[in-house]
A and B are shown apart, each in its own frame.
Chain A
């Protein structure tokens, strides 16, 4: 298969089409504009529909509608735009309809800045909307991974009748890398008999709804949703272990941060420090098992994020007090500096010894 050079945003959009997406509703915001731009041009070519909504709230509700009608549908935005979508996402999860949501995150809070950051971890994994809910959150670290995960996301969303999020950052969105569009792994999917496709007088109308006024009913519904999430935790966790076998110092990082950490590990190993990396590919479900498997060889664990520290909470939960947990990060759109990561490790190792 031939490699082509693509910008992250374009590649994600093309991957969505490759994964069967035929409806895209979005709104402009830097640094993800290339996604709706690409979709505006390419959707009509595959017989799909592109609409620029009047806002991100409108877009997510269009997604809700199309998903309820059985379509493979996607929206994309960046941090503050994703914040606007939170209620819609809660409704989508409550009504059990599938969709894909792409967040190319930028500096915050508020309008923030256009440079990349990873400060939407809480928003993505703790649910910014109301109620008990979760969805699988993929955090690609390069564009090929973004392509593979975006295409597969539609299959997974349909399988669980739940949204799937692709959590990128501005770098993933704007960088160019060679990519190949592989065959997407397929799952056995139930036909969407629940969708509002028109009864033609042959059946009762389907209703897409998250309202359950009877509390006993709503509790049952929540328990059903929780069982889905439990299955996702058991079956959908993805993680990469990098130079972890003999590691004394374990970094935890995802997305763009993970790439910079890998370079820092090269520097540290050259100085005789055995550093390794746990790279969550799904930040939800979080790879708890990787931490349970760490031995006493490990002296310290450090969460490295482009934020003021959000994933560190999950790292603390996962290490359950067995190891000291440190943090290194940059925020506001500043990119991590390799040398600073190296120094943070050396400093922490001195402190714990």
Chain B
């Protein structure tokens, strides 16, 4: 697979997953690009990690202004078309959350090479509206309708940020399994921070992606105290 479209519920962890996926792919491929087409979120966008990603030789495509932080203008750069259609660049597309964010994918739906594209839906079972199967399926249907693409794989990204425990990822695994039963969409990846990934039993579905929390600054990690 060359193109990875990352969709999912608002707040499921798409951007963090996209950045980490791009880094993993870069360890396997020479030419990797991350296109951040999220026009919904004003902060915490994958393109804010440009320095980190470019340091690893990953090309970052953001908005037409060339400004990564502090601009909430829905102007996705046309540069995204290049990696999509060049047949060689491994491309991660970080879409905006919910059907609203996925709608933008419709504008280049015809350019997406479906036979070499994975359309992922990221699921965090600890977000209020995706705690049950119905909620996840509603998301999937909404995203498919808005984008005109079919979801080909789930990402079990169940987390409470740095407070995540193994049990929660397992609960997410159960939830995603139930979604697979109803929709036929398989779980492609399971993502978590290192201590949790290392502690997962073998039968948890999905390729393991270890998450480094790049989008969270150090001072945000003391949420336990006031």
Residues of A that sit less than 8 Å from B by CB: 3-7, 10, 14, 30-31, 33, 113-115, 141-145, 170-171, 174-178, 240, 242, 258-260, 262-263, 279, 281, 333, 335, 338
Contact = CB atoms under 8 A, between A and B. Distances in A.
The 7 A-B pairs at the shortest CB distance, nearest first, are namely A174-B43, A178-B160, A260-B219, A263-B219, A5-B126, A30-B42, A4-B128
Contacts of A175: 44, 220
Contacts of B220: 175, 259
Interface stretch (B57-65, B69-77, B107-115): B69-77
A281 B56 CA distance: 42
B161 A114 contact: no
A177 B226 CA distance: 12
Interface string B1-17: 00000000011000000
B225 interface: yes
B199 interface: no
Nearest to A6: B128
A171 to B, nearest CB: 8
6 contacts: A3-B163, A33-B42, A115-B69, A175-B220, A176-B161, A178-B161
A238 B10 CA distance: 34
Interface in B74-118: none
Contacts of B124: 5
Given A178-B163, A259-B219, A141 B128 contact: no
B226 A279 contact: yes
Contact of B225 (A4, A176, A262, A281): A262
Contact of A114 (B72, B128, B160, B163): B72
B70 A145 contact: no
Contact of B126 (A144, A171, A178, A258): A178
Interface in B34-66: 41-44
B42 A333 contact: no
Contact of B70 (A143, A262, A333): A333
Contacts of B163: 3, 178
A114 B71 contact: yes
B110 to A, nearest CB: 30
Given A174-B44, A178-B126, A7 B11 contact: yes
A30 B72 contact: yes
Contacts of B219: 259-260, 262-263, 338
B53 to A, nearest CB: 20
Contacts of B10: 7
B122 to A, nearest CB: 13
Contact of A31 (B42, B71, B222, B225): B42
B127 interface: yes
Interface in B132-173: 159-161, 163
Given A142-B226, A263-B218, A279-B226, A114 B42 contact: yes
Contact of B226 (A6, A14, A240): A240
Interface residues of B, number: 27
Contacts of B44: 174-175
Nearest to B72: A30
Contacts of B126: 3-5, 178
Contacts of A33: 42
A214 to B, nearest CB: 47
Given A4-B126, A4-B127, A113-B70, A177 B218 contact: no
A5 B226 contact: no
B223 A142 contact: yes
Point out which of A3, A10, A170, A259 has the most chain B C-beta atoms below 10 A from its C-beta: A259
Contact of B43 (A31, A143, A263): A31
A176 B43 CA distance: 11
Contacts of A240: 226
A42 to B, nearest CB: 10
A5 B222 contact: no
Contact of A5 (B41, B71, B159, B225): B159
A332 to B, nearest CB: 9
Contacts of A338: 218-219
A259 B222 contact: yes
Given A113-B70, A262-B225, A3 B160 contact: yes
A333 to B, nearest CB: 6
B24 to A, nearest CB: 23
Contacts of A335: 217
A240 B219 CA distance: 18
A10 B11 CA distance: 11
Contacts of A177: 161, 223
B160 A5 contact: yes
A66 to B, nearest CB: 27
